[in-house]
Amino acid sequence: MPDVDEKKPFVKAEPADEIPIPAAAVLPRPRAPCVPRWLQFVLKLAFVAWLALTVRTWTRANVDKVVEMYEAEWLASAFADAPMPAVRHPHRRPHRKVLFGKKAEEKFLTVPNAESALAASRQYATKPHLAGSSGDYDTAVDFLKLLQTEFGITPPPSALPIYSAGTPESRNATLGITQLKRPTAWIDTYYPVMNTPLDHSLQILGEDGNPVWTAELEEVADFTDPEAGKYYDAVTAWHGLSRGGSAQGKLVYANYGRKEDYDELFEAGVDLNGAIVLARYGGNFRGLKVKGAQELGAAACLIYSDPRDDGTVTRDNGYAYYPYGPARNPNSVQRGSTQFLSIYPGDPTTPGYPSYENSTRTNGTNIPSIPSLPLSWANAEVLLKEISEGGQNRTVSLVNNVDDKVIPIWNTLGVIPGHIKDEVVVVGNHRDAWVMGATDPSSGTASVHEVVRGLGELLRSGWTPLRTIVIASWDAEEYGLIGSTEWGEDFADWIADHVVAYFNLDSSVSGSRYRALATPSLAHFVRSVAEEIEHPTQPGKSLWDATADKGVLTGHQLDEEALKVYEAAEAEISADGTGVGLLGSGSDFTVFVQRAGVASNNIGFQSTLQDPVYHYHSVFDSQHWQERYGDPGFKRHVAVAKHLGLQTVRLTDSIVLPINTTHHALQLEAYLNKVEDIASTTSLDVDFSGLRSAIHRLQHASAKLDHEKAKAEKRLRKYLRRLALRHLLRRNIRRAACRVRALLSSTACAPAEDDAPARAALAAPPQQPKEKTFECSAMKGGKGGAGSFLPFQPRIGRAPAWAKEQRAAAAAAADGKKHKDKDSFPFKRFRKAAKRVRAANEKLRAFERGFVHPDGIKDREWYRNLAVAPGKWLGYGATTFPALTEAFTIDKNATSAQYEAKRLQKLIEKIAHEIKV
């Protein structure tokens, strides 16, 4: 019997004669979902995140492309407060990538190559081109043609663009640089007083006054070195700007002819009155050797090249002399200027103002009043034996006749206008040589040749620099930095207003060690760029690593004094923690650093004590020596070109100038510490507390400026990307709308900016439309002809043109209103951010200019930079806080020292105020 408690499904009772209704089935239990709800939520969240990331990545990539295309133009428009047509009319502009920034740098670095640099070197370094000579003029024209070819400049149909300095044509060429819209090039002719040799002689006289020995003063060469053999007597071995005349006297040896060497002679009781001083090259500028002798009453000065200064590469160490080996040719002579470089450079007769053809001349105070001659080691060896122990110490007779006259020189300049036309970067290299100058300066000219080629390739690829670039080929540098100095004095105000940086290249390659000199504000920039260039001869290393390179020609014998001089120079360079040395003088950066206060640098490979001997200013500074010993393969020439060119492109296209004021401000304290160390060795009591406090205030102001320039650039880039995003969205919305319109109607949109075929079709000449005719309602079809009442097509005169003008005016008005409305955002903020960057850049420029004092340095007022200048008795080498330092070392006067400390304090306080944010 079934359990009475068993529940049965409910069955409705039905009549017997009806069909029974089946019982309802029991509903199955609901199954749990395959994917838990929490996992579904996670998957949905992951999908949304992936979608967002994809959109973001796509947007960023496309925004980067838009920025790449329009960055330079937008920045230029913002900096110049000009309209931004690329944003306002995106459908009217072709879609093209514009080289700028990193892309331009990468493109540039592909251009310089060894074959081209070698060809350029052979073009300039296989014939003499002394400043003012016909060969020099030919090289000026050659460089002009290079600029015209590479920069796409159409030469004038008639005469070459050669302008006499001071004429309206010459002045307008430079003063008009900031208004240029296309590249241009020209030659400026200046008219300095220089000299050329007439005749000279050097003899040892016997007791009867007759010569017992006559020196062979000219270099002796054969055709083992083809150019040296051909041109050994093309340029007489003499000193430029030396005093003409003759002298007789006893020889006195003065070692390097440094101030300390003359002081030792004076303290030893050696009388130089009427004597002929014999000094060796090295330690200081040759003109200051003559100056020291002159001030102690000497009648003349002889300067020779001593093999002891050649390091280990000497005949005593078993090396054959050039051209048969790497050691010094005993007949080689170092020509050079004997101008007193540390007093002032340039034309001796026009100090502080340019040498025009009709300039008023003065008696130069930076040139010697006693004659001098350069000597080879072969001749010096005879004289040293004459005055050595056991020598006869006979009278020496010297003759140096020269022709002092006004000689024209030629500076060649080329310009690439930038978007920001009132900020200019100048790149310079001198072109003149004492003979052929395969190293000095033609190795530099060959590297600049490659830089010009690289810039030309960028221009042909559509690049326009953000800032304007000036390429300068200076003349008469060898006589005393004359070409660059005269141009700098001629356009001093323009340089102060517009030049943001000067990059100098003298000699590219004379040895294996890379050297960079710069104002401290550019030290980090110079080094960081060098670290990105590959080492020319050692794969896996950078160009900066070459600053530790040295030659491989070793030997057991090495002169201790020569080693000390070399190591002292190296120590000066390494004093700055960056490894970048200071700029004193000796090349064309001088007028920019010391007179105008422009951030500058100078680079190149230099010789070490283990390198093949570089025959400085000799006929043996030849193409043969350069290809065999200096830079076989010309890889170092190319590395220098890449470093110089990359610096140029990067600084030119940088939003914020890469000028590091904080590093410079920190170095000022190191300069003061050095002065205090000097002061501690004297009995002079000078208070430096005010000066130190001023330096600390400058450091604080500079740190704030660092913060401000970083924020200013970040904000500008932020709005730059916003502009790009806006541009991208507008373009894509328009494309989508056009596609919808194309589906709904037969009317096509205007082609998008990247629709090249459609744009090409639009660019084709349109067919002439039929003239619009007058129509009335009675005309069938609205046209005259067979089916109309009028058998002709009546015209309405000027009505169509008038209507077209009215429509264009209305469209322009609407467009102007639209642009005005658009300037509210984001354009207005973008312009404001650009003005903030411009303000920061102006402060960076003001920092370097701030060290220039109008009164200059005591006794050499042409030099106006109170932070650094060539040492008064160094010429080349830099002295920091020069006026203050020399108050201790030369004047030894506490009153002068306190005055200079106070003058520096006021100057630095003023700089701190000018860069304050």
Q: Tell me the catalytic residues.
A: 477
Q: Where are the beta strands (DSSP E) in 836-877?
A: 868-870
From 194, 297, 277, 197, select the one nearest 244 (Cα to Cα): 197
Question: Which of the 8 DSSP states describes residue 752?
Answer: P
Residue 87: partners with Cβ closer than 8 Å, 6 or more residues away: 70, 74, 723, 726, 727, 822, 827
Closest CA to 874 of 862, 864, 882: 882
User: Contact, 299 vs 247, CB < 8 A?
Assistant: yes
Q: How far apart are CA 721 and CA 202, in angstroms?
A: 74
Angle among Cα 305, 306, 312 to the nearest 5 degrees reads 125
Residue with tokens 């009995």: 683
Q: How far apart are CA 844 and CA 661, in angstroms?
A: 7
332, 402 Cβ separation under 8 angstroms: no
Phi, psi at 254, each rounded to 5°: -120, 25
Measured N-to-C along each axis, helices 689-744 and 828-849 cross at an angle, to the nearest 10 degrees, of 150
Rounded (10°) CA dihedral 568, 622, 634, 586: 40
Q: Which residues of 848-869 are buried (b: 16+ CB within 10 A; e: fewer)?
A: bbbbbbeebbbebebbbbbbbb
Query: Which are the contacts of 893, defined by CB distance < 8 A and separation ≥ 6?
Result: 684, 887
**Three-state secondary structure string covering 679-701:** HCCCCCCCCCHHHHHHHHHHHHH
Residue type, 124: Y
Contact of 835 with 715, CB cutoff 8 Å: no
Whole-number Å distance between alpha carbons of 558 and 820: 76
Strand 184-190 vs strand 409-416: parallel, antiparallel, or unpaired?
Answer: antiparallel
The two tokens of residue 47 are 């999908």
Cβ neighbour number for residue 617 with a 10 Å cutoff: 27
Contacts of residue 542, defined as CB under 8 A and 6 or more positions apart, other chains included, come to 530, 531, 532, 533, 534, 535
Residue 525 CB partners (closer than 8 Å, separation 6+):
518, 647, 651, 658, 659, 660
Question: What is the spatial distance between Cα 422 and Cα 179, in angstroms, rounded to a whole number?
Answer: 8
